[in-house]
Each structure stands twice: as C-alpha cells, then as structure tokens.
C-alpha cells in the first residue's frame, strides 16, 4: 500500500509523520543539522519504521519561509530543495510544499476538544475567517478561511511584522526605549521568545534595575515565582498580544475566532488566562462591541503543524487533477 507522509520543518527540528485515515501517526522528530538534505532525513525516518523508500507516494511539507517557485531554501537551516529533483529522488506521485504557518492554521481544523483551552467565551461564526496567531521563535500570523465547499483555505501574511501598537503612557515610554535600540519596533520584536528577553531588558533599563535573567524560560519562571519585574514583562506581553490580535480581528473580520498557538504562551498558561489579554483584545474604542462574542482559544495540541500538513495534503488528493 502506498503511503502518505507529512512534515513540519523548522530551523532546528524536522518532524515527520505518516498520514492515515485523516490523522497523523508514527511521529518522529529529527535534528536537521544531522542530515545533509531533507531527502536523507526522510529516508532515515522511513528506515526507522522498516519502510522502503518506494512505499511513499504522497508528501506534504510545512516549511519555514516563503514558498514559491521551483527552488526553496529553508529558513534557519542549511537545507535546500528543488521540487523536480526532490520529487524524483523520493519517487513521489504527489508533492505539496506549504508555509509552516499555513500548516499551523490548517491544523486548527482538526483539533480535539481537549487540545484547546477557551480564553474568551463566544460563538464562532462558521462562515467567517478565523485568526491564527502564534508567538514562538517569531510571531506567526495567518487567516483561516472556509471555502464554502466543506474545505479550508489559508490566507498567509506577514502580520508579525506590523508596528507594535501603543495603548498607555507606560507602553509609550517602553516603545521609546525599544525605538532607541531598534529604530523600527515590530510586534514580533516583543511577541516572541527573544521578545520576552528584549522587553525585560527594556524595563530594567527604563527603571534602573540590574538585569539578571537571560532567557525566556528564566523570565517566565521568575514571574510565576513573584519577581515583580518579570511579572510586568509577562503582563505587558499578554496585553500587547491581545492588542495585536484584536487589530487582526478588526482588519480581517475574523469573527470565526482567534487561535493562540506557538511555544511561548503554554509556559505560563494559567497566568495568561487571568492576564489583561482579553481586556486589551476588546478595548477598541467605538468598535469594542465588534470584539464581543469573538471566541479565543489557547491551543495545547502537540503537533498542530503536522496535522495541518495532513489536512492540506488530503485536500489536494481529494481534488481531481490536483497532483
């Protein structure tokens, strides 16, 4: 029987899984640095399962970076890929390459109820877009759209690079501190793992504290242990995320809901649930009513990118002449 494989390729890790009966199975994570090419990593994955290379028929990879053209260079690792050569080397009938955050967004369509925590109550409007936003290494933003035919499309974008919005005098003072360092202050400059550290250092500089925390994990742990500077870092992080997400809902008409993904927020999920996120999301002056009733979920699924790659692959295979 011919097999379908899905992958989620980041800067450090490459995750692979078989796609069977609309779910992933046999998930394995490989270090990209240990393989000269993505073909070699896939061969190793299949070999570990006792599967020959010619058992593979269809493949979808979610890839960090803009996906277009015949050649692709992976962001933050040494791999490159030529579509034709890659397809021939793996003897594939079907090959689909998509952006990794497109895969993440499609993964929201196959979530189980125990894989998300409701942050803001509401009813998703089934025919409206949903916003998928995720602080991680950077800030990913995508829009999930129902296609009207029981399928899904994703509108990719670079929403993590919008200007950081200011909502208080304290934030304005910190923005000035950040502007002196960066010149142009993007949402991603704060709403990411490295952004937590940058915000911590900016608060220390503004308030004449000696910084002693050096990583996102240290800052999160210190905040949860009661360190007042670290607490302010997490508090402002949540508020700024709410403001950026709320701007996205207004811009996109995303009354299908908001999905918070990525590796940062789950480190302090209880703090996040009681933070100022929800208030800042909905604090939009004369348009605040528009955000009322828009549900927000924190996604806790382990492999949403792989699941989304599977959804994308299945939609392609179910479309006549898609390959």
Q: 263 a known binding residue?
A: no
Considering only the top CATH level, what class is 112-300? Answer: alpha beta
117 annotated as belonging to a binding site for a ligand? no
By mean pLDDT, which of 5-14, 121-130, 173-182, 258-267 is the weakest?
A: 5-14
What tens digit of pLDDT does each residue of 139-158 get? 989 999 988 777 789 988 88
Residue 322 has pLDDT above 60, yes or no: no
What pLDDT is stored for residue 116 in this prediction?
95
pLDDT at position 238 is: 98
Taking the model in full, what pTM does it have?
0.90
> How much is the pLDDT for 103?
93
How do residues 84-137 score in pLDDT, each as one tens digit? 999 999 999 999 999 888 999 999 998 988 999 999 999 999 899 999 999 988
Q: How confident is the model at residue 176 (pLDDT cuts 50, 70, 90)?
A: very high
Say which residues have a Cβ less than 8 Å from residue 308's Cβ, sequence separation at least 6. Answer: 62, 102, 103, 104, 105, 106, 107, 108, 109, 110
Residue 7 annotated as lining a ligand binding site: yes
The ranges assigned to domains in the chain are 3-100, 112-300
Confidence of residue 199 (pLDDT cuts 50, 70, 90): very high
Residue 203 has pLDDT above 60, yes or no: yes
pLDDT number for residue 321: 59
Predicted pLDDT of residue 285:
94
Mean pLDDT of the chain: 92
Distance CA 271, CA 223 (A): 9
Homologous superfamily of domain range 3-100: ATPase, nucleotide binding domain (3.30.420.40)
* All residues at 6 or more sequence positions from 182 whose CB lies less than 8 Å from its CB, including other chains: 189
31-88 confidence digits (pLDDT tens): 988 999 999 999 999 999 999 988 999 999 998 777 878 888 876 678 888 999 999 9
Cα separation values, 52 from 55, 61, 72, 141, Å: 6, 19, 26, 37
User: Is pLDDT above 90 for 271?
Assistant: yes
Question: Annotation-wise, does 134 bind a ligand?
Answer: no
Q: Read off the pLDDT band of 210 (50, 70, 90).
A: very high
Band the pLDDT of 323: cuts 50, 70, 90. Answer: very low
């Amino acid at each position: 029987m011919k097999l379908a494989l899905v992958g989620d390729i980041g800067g450090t890790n490459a995750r692979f899984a078989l796609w069977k009966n609309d779910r992933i199975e046999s998930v394995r994570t490989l270090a990209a640095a240990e393989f000269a090419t993505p073909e070699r990593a896939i061969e190793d994955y299949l070999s570990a399962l006792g599967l020959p290379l010619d058992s593979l028929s269809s493949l979808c990879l979610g890839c960090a970076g803009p996906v277009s053209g015949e050649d692709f260079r992976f962001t933050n690792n040494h791999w490159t890929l030529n579509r034709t050569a890659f397809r021939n080397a793996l003897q594939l009938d079907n090959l689909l390459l998509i952006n990794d955050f497109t895969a993440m967004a499609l993964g929201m369509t196959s979530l189980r109820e125990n894989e998300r925590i409701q942050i803001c109550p509401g009813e998703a409007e089934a025919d409206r877009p949903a916003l998928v936003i995720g602080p991680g290494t950077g800030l990913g933003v995508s829009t999930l759209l129902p296609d009207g035919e029981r399928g899904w499309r994703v509108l990719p974008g670079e929403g993590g690079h919008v200007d950081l919005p200011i909502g208080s005098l304290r934030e304005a003072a910190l923005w000035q501190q950040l502007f002196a360092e960066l010149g142009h202050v993007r949402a991603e400059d704060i709403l990411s793992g490295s952004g937590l550290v940058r915000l911590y250092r900016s608060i220390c500089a503004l308030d004449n504290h000696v910084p002693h925390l050096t990583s996102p994990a240290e800052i999160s742990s210190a905040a949860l242990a009661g360190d007042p500077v670290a607490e302010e870092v997490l508090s402002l992080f949540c508020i700024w995320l709410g403001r950026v997400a709320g701007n996205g809902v207004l811009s996109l008409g995303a009354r299908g809901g908001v999905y918070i993904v990525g590796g940062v927020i789950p480190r302090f999920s209880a703090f996040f649930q009681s933070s100022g996120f929800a208030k800042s999301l909905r604090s939009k002056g004369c348009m605040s009513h528009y955000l009322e009733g828009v549900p927000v979920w924190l996604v806790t699924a382990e492999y949403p990118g792989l699941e989304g790659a599977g959804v994308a692959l299945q939609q392609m295979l179910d479309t006549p002449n898609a390959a």
